[in-house]
C-alpha cells in the first residue's frame, strides 16, 4: 500500500491538497526509481560497471599513445568526474541530500524568505487560492435561490452575466495556478527520477551534452514555481478586496465580476511570463562548462580558417627575400674569385666552384625556410618515449 494514499484521496479538496499529493508521490516515485535503477540489485548496475571500465580503458589508451599526461592538472578533473558519478549514481542518501533538496526545497525556501512567511511558501500560496475559491462559491450560493411562491419565474439571461464572468474568472485562476505549479512539480519529479541515468553520461565527452540538458531541465522546473509563487502572491492580495465586493444588493456585482475576470486573465499572463523568464535564464546558463556555446565555437573555427591563409601568404612572400639574403654572400664571393685577372684558374676549376656555390645556396635556403623546420612533438605522455623521431634528410647538389 502506498504511503501517499491519504493525500491522493484528498487531492480533490483544493489546490493545496493537490500540491501535497504531488509532492508525496514525487518523493516516493523518485526513491523507488533510484532503487530499481542503481540500487543493491538495480537493473543498470552492470551497465554502470561497464561504463566505468570503458572510461578507464580509454584513459589508459590515451596515456599509452601520449595524448594524456600523468599530472595533477590532468588527473584531478578525471578523478572528480568519477567520484561525482559514483557518489550520486549509487548513493540515495547523497542524491536525496544534495540534488533533491536543492531542486525541490531550495526555491520554496527562497520564496518563503522573500515573502516573510513561516513554513512552505508554496503551500501558503495554495491555501490563499483555496480561500478565494471558497469566497467565490459562497458569493454564488448566496445569490442563487428559488423564486418566491406565486412570483414570476426567473428570467433567462444571456451568456455574459456577472455570475458567468465570476465563474469564468475562477476557472482562469484555477488553470493559471494548477497549470504552472502542479505541472512543474510533476515534470521535476520525472526528471529527478531519471537523474542517475543522466549523471552517468558525465563520464564521456560525447554524452556530456545530455547531462547538461538534464541539469537545465531540472533548474527550469525548479525555479518556475518560485516565480509563480512570488508573482501570484501579489495577484492574490489584489484579488481579495475584489472578491469581497462581489455580492451586492441585487446579486452579483457586475463591476466586481468584470474586475475579477480581468485580474484572472492578468494572473494567467503572469504565469506564462514566469515560465518564459525561467526558460530564458536557463538558456543562457553554461552548466559549469559542460554545454559548449555553438556561436563561440563557430567564431573560433572561422578565425582559424581566416588566419591560416594570411599567415601562409606572409610566409610565402618573405621566402624569396630570405633566399636572396642567403644567396648574396656566396654569389659575391664567387664573383670576386672570378675576376679579370684570374680567368685561367676560373676556367680550370670553374665547375668545382659552381658546384660548391650551388651547394651553399641550397643549404642556406633550406635553413631559412620555415617549412623545413621540425614541428614540435605532440606526444608528451608515457608513450612518447616509444615514438621514433623523424629523420632529417637534406639532399645537397654535388
**241: enclosing H helix or E strand:** helix 208-244
Whole-angstrom Cα distance, residue 80 to residue 276?
Answer: 34
Q: Are 359 and 397 in contact (CB under 8 A)?
A: yes
Same domain, 86 and 178: yes
Tell whether 341 is covered by a domain. yes
For residue 389, the model assigns a pLDDT of 53
Same domain, 327 and 195: no
201 Cβ neighbours under 8 A, 6+ residues apart? 207, 208, 210, 211, 214
Same domain, 121 and 225: yes
Q: Assess whether pLDDT exceeds 90 at residue 36.
A: yes
Q: How many residues are given for the chain?
A: 398
Whole-angstrom Cα distance, residue 244 to residue 235?
Answer: 15
Same domain, 87 and 31: yes
Tell whether 273 is covered by a domain. yes
Tell whether 299 is covered by a domain. no
Mean pLDDT calculated for residue range 113-129:
90
For residue 118, the model assigns a pLDDT of 85
* Look-up of cell digits 559514483: 86
Q: Assess whether pLDDT exceeds 60 at residue 311.
A: no
For residue 219, the model assigns a pLDDT of 95
Whole-angstrom Cα distance, residue 123 to residue 116?
Answer: 14
Whole-angstrom Cα distance, residue 235 to residue 258?
Answer: 15
Q: Are 166 and 139 in contact (CB under 8 A)?
A: yes
Whole-angstrom Cα distance, residue 66 to residue 379?
Answer: 5
For residue 390, the model assigns a pLDDT of 53
Tell whether 67 is covered by a domain. yes
Tell whether 253 is covered by a domain. yes
For residue 13, the model assigns a pLDDT of 85
Same domain, 264 and 177: yes
| Nearest CA-CA partner of 380 in 58, 70, 60 | 70
Q: How many CB atoms lie within 10 A of CB 103?
A: 20
Whole-angstrom Cα distance, residue 270 to residue 276?
Answer: 10
Beta bridge partners of 251: 248
Domain extent at residue 330 = 318-371
| Nearest CA-CA partner of 172 in 276, 256, 260 | 260
Split into its structural domains, the chain has a count of 2
Tell whether 236 is covered by a domain. yes
Same domain, 362 and 219: no
Mean pLDDT calculated for residue range 205-231:
93
330 Cβ neighbours under 8 A, 6+ residues apart? 357, 360, 361, 364
Same domain, 169 and 92: yes
Same domain, 281 and 337: no
Which residues in the chain belong to E strands, given as ranges?
247-248, 251-252
Whole-angstrom Cα distance, residue 52 to residue 46?
Answer: 10
| Nearest CA-CA partner of 125 in 43, 41, 239 | 239
Q: Assess whether pLDDT exceeds 50 at residue 58.
A: yes
In which band, very low, low, confident or very high, does the pLDDT at 373 lie, cut at 50, 70 and 90? low
Cut 0.85: pTM above it: no
CA atoms within 13 Å, Cβ hemisphere of 298: 3
Same domain, 288 and 322: no
DSSP secondary structure code for residue 338 in this structure: S
Give me the torsion for CA of 353, 355, 359, 365, rounded to 10°: 90
The model's pLDDT over 298-309, given as tens digits with 9 standing for 90+, comes to: 444 454 445 444
Q: Assess whether pLDDT exceeds 80 at residue 350.
A: no
Same domain, 57 and 167: yes
Same domain, 25 and 83: yes
Same domain, 17 and 119: yes
Q: Assess whether pLDDT exceeds 80 at residue 289.
A: no
Average pLDDT value over all residues in the chain: 76
Q: Assess whether pLDDT exceeds 70 at residue 59.
A: yes
Q: Are 52 and 82 in contact (CB under 8 A)?
A: yes
* Look-up of cell digits 530564458: 280
Torsion sign, CA atoms 83, 85, 86, 92: positive
Amino acid at each position: 500500500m502506498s504511503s501517499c494514499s491519504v493525500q491522493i484521496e484528498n487531492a480533490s479538496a483544493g489546490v493545496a491538497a493537490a500540491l501535497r499529493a504531488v509532492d508525496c508521490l514525487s518523493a516516493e516515485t523518485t526513491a523507488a526509481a533510484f532503487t530499481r535503477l542503481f540500487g543493491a540489485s538495480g537493473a543498470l548496475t552492470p551497465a554502470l560497471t561497464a561504463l566505468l571500465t570503458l572510461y578507464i580503458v580509454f584513459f589508459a589508451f590515451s596515456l599509452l599513445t601520449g595524448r594524456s599526461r600523468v599530472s595533477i592538472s590532468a588527473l584531478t578533473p578525471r578523478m572528480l568526474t568519477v567520484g561525482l558519478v559514483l557518489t550520486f549514481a549509487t548513493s540515495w542518501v547523497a542524491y536525496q541530500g544534495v540534488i533533491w533538496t536543492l531542486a525541490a526545497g531550495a526555491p520554496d525556501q527562497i520564496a518563503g524568505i522573500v515573502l516573510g512567511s513561516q513554513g512552505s511558501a508554496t503551500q501558503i500560496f495554495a491555501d490563499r487560492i483555496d480561500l478565494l475559491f471558497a469566497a467565490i462559491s459562497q458569493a454564488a450560493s448566496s445569490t442563487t435561490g428559488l423564486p418566491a411562491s406565486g412570483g414570476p419565474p426567473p428570467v433567462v439571461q444571456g451568456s455574459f452575466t456577472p455570475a458567468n464572468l465570476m465563474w469564468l474568472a475562477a476557472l482562469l485562476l484555477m488553470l493559471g495556478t494548477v497549470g504552472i505549479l502542479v505541472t512543474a512539480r510533476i515534470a521535476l519529479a520525472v526528471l529527478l527520477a531519471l537523474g542517475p541515468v543522466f549523471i552517468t553520461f558525465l563520464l564521456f565527452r560525447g554524452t556530456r551534452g545530455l547531462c547538461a540538458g538534464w541539469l537545465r531541465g531540472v533548474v527550469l522546473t525548479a525555479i518556475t514555481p518560485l516565480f509563480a509563487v512570488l508573482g501570484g502572491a501579489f495577484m492574490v492580495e489584489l484579488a481579495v478586496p475584489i472578491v469581497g465586493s462581489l455580492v451586492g444588493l441585487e446579486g452579483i456585482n457586475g463591476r466586481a465580476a468584470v474586475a475579477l475576470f480581468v485580474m484572472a486573465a492578468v494572473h494567467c499572463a503572469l504565469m506564462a511570463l514566469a515560465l518564459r523568464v525561467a526558460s530564458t535564464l536557463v538558456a543562457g546558463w553554461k552548466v559549469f562548462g559542460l554545454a559548449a556555446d555553438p556561436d563561440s565555437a563557430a567564431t573560433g573555427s572561422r578565425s582559424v580558417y581566416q588566419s591560416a591563409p594570411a599567415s601562409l601568404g606572409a610566409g610565402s612572400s618573405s621566402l624569396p627575400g630570405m633566399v636572396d639574403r642567403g644567396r648574396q654572400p656566396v654569389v659575391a664571393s664567387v664573383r670576386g674569385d672570378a675576376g679579370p685577372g684570374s680567368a685561367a684558374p676560373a676556367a680550370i676549376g670553374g665547375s668545382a666552384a659552381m658546384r660548391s656555390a650551388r651547394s651553399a645556396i641550397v643549404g642556406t635556403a633550406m635553413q631559412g625556410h620555415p617549412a623545413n623546420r621540425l614541428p614540435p612533438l605532440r606526444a608528451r605522455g608515457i608513450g612518447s618515449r616509444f615514438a621514433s623521431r623523424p629523420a632529417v634528410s637534406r639532399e645537397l647538389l654535388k
